[in-house]
Amino acid sequence: MVQAIAERRKAIAAVALALAALALLALRSGDDSPTVSGDYTPGSSPPPTEAAEATGVEAEADVDTDASAAAESPAEETSSTAETPGEDALPAPIEPSSDVLADILNDHRDGGLIVLPAGRYMVGDIDGLNPPNRLTVVAERRNEVEIVRTADEIGETDFWIKNSSNITFAGIWFRDVSTVVSSSADIEFRYTRHSYPIEAHPDPANTWCSRNSQPNGLEINGWSENIDLYGVSIDGIGNDGVKIVQSDDVDVVGAVITNVNHGFLQKGNTNGDCSSIDGDNYHYDGIQFVNGSVDDFTLRDSYVGRRIVMQIDADGESNGDIEIDNVWLMAESSEQYPAEYDCVTMLMRVNRDAASGARQTVTTNDLRSFCDPSVDGDLHWTTGGNRSESLIINGQAVPESQTNTNAQFDDIRFAKADISESPAAQWRATNSYQDWLLEQNP
């Protein structure tokens, strides 16, 4: 049995490497511009779960129509029910003492590898969980362990990981919840899925301008440090795919962030509580830094739909050592939900009332920006704010008068990016979930 698993693992690795090489060759052929098929359309948001929960009927995970499956490498198993050597090698699933995730994890405060049986589990905040040995929580089958909330938790739609450390989540679907890592360290998400469309929020009309809880994918705050996201799929989000506030050493690698939009509340909610941006006061992004004090952030080998916003707000401190390497940025849009700010895929700003001397320092390499060909615009990277030379890009200060920094992109295309050819797909082809699972249980 061990020999058979080893042989299958070698075969999968060989196929993955070959496909990655072919994809890279196609990408570079002719010139150094990416090859795009022009036929990608972001998938629809996963369906809300409230109706099923309210009636007591359990909704099935829509794995086959997962839009993030398009981002998987051809060498990956796209069906969660297919035979996967890594899942075969896992130990037997535990017998949960509860259907609440926090209760289950509190039963394993000493750490170790635990396998959650396929099924649906309720959220429950984790607070003060610091196992002496790493606690690795793995889905029995990828995407078939769902972490959800109860239907009547109006305004309580966040799953908090607070004051905790030394925990890995793998292959789990966080469905219609915002996962918030706060004042924690050494937390890892590996090949997890995160979805929370605006339609799934119990009170969507009151999510704007920081009211109520917002439908984010992942939020990292409270001076958290050493937080890693590897191969995550953030698909179908009503606010920010990844929001980062006052944190240090955050790595996002091999990620796909797509289908980020405010849905039926996209436009027209102008009110006195917050400013309006192009008729839309709902500030949603693929990745957003807010307030400031984000240090040592790395985004690489990834695909990000919707824009990346790095900002320093009132009294905010500097954002430093930000590295963006080998990333495709797509101003995703559709006929119903046009790309915000035309073709902006990156935005940096430092507000006038930020802390004295606040600066943002960014290093980039091998960036490609895509925009829907139907959109008439040429701004891909904009800068703003009111502090002269507070933005440092690749070692060069950007004057306050300069608002367009498109030169930082290696290539700009008016086309729809093919996620299956993106850096995220290439990273996943050579860093498969199955291989990682085998490493956890040699």
Domain that residue 256 falls in:
2-440
In this prediction, residue 16 carries a pLDDT of 47
In this prediction, residue 261 carries a pLDDT of 82
pTM of the model: 0.79
In this prediction, residue 72 carries a pLDDT of 36
- Count of structural domains, the chain: 1
pLDDT tens, the chain, 442 aa long: 434 444 544 554 454 444 444 444 433 333 333 222 222 222 333 333 333 333 333 333 333 334 333 333 333 333 343 456 788 888 999 999 999 999 999 999 999 999 999 999 998 899 999 999 999 999 999 999 999 987 666 556 789 999 999 999 999 999 999 999 999 999 999 999 999 988 888 777 666 655 567 889 999 999 999 999 999 999 999 889 999 999 999 999 999 999 988 766 655 444 444 444 444 445 678 999 988 999 999 999 999 998 899 999 888 999 999 999 999 999 887 554 555 546 888 999 998 889 999 999 999 999 999 987 777 677 889 898 888 889 999 999 998 888 889 989 999 998 889 999 999 999 999 999 999 999 987 6
- Residue 88: what are its φ and ψ, rounded to 5°? -60, -30
